[in-house]
Structure 1
């Protein structure tokens, strides 16, 4: 279980690094990884809202 969590953490950090790198004009593959990372973040956010994950500190910007 711990190894799985570490793997997810490594993938998240790698994805965030690709988002930053692609924003600064990185190689084409970083744009693809960044797009997947941003899409996954959107899915997680939507699922969190649909499950009633509101804790009273949501800010709609």
Structure 2
């Protein structure tokens, strides 16, 4: 079951990356929508990673490091 979930996640990530490249070259509207979702998810994950690192360093979380 877990390998199936991992394969689905991998296929979704690769498909999102393909849509980002295709949208940059002027792909159809649905590819631009998928690309926007992919880029938005990447920004959210990047932001969550930054917050986790700040907390793990022992800072107060106010961003003053």
The answer, yes or no, to whether TM exceeds 0.5 is: yes
CA-based RMSD of the aligned residues comes to 1.2
Runs of 4 or more consecutive aligned structure 1 residues displaced over 4 Å after TM superposition: none
User: What is aligned with 1:3?
Assistant: 4
Q: State TM-score, norm by structure 2.
A: 0.76
Higher relative CO (Cα under 8 Å, sequence separation at least 6) belongs to 1
Larger radius of gyration: 2
Q: Which structure dedicates a bigger proportion of its chain to helix?
A: 2
The CA distance in 2 between the partners of 1:50 and 1:9, in whole Å, is 25
Unaligned runs of 5+ in 1: 54-61
The CA distance in 1 between the partners of 2:8 and 2:51, in whole Å, is 26
Number of aligned residue pairs: 53
Q: State TM-score, norm by structure 1.
A: 0.81
Unaligned runs of 5+ in 2: 55-65
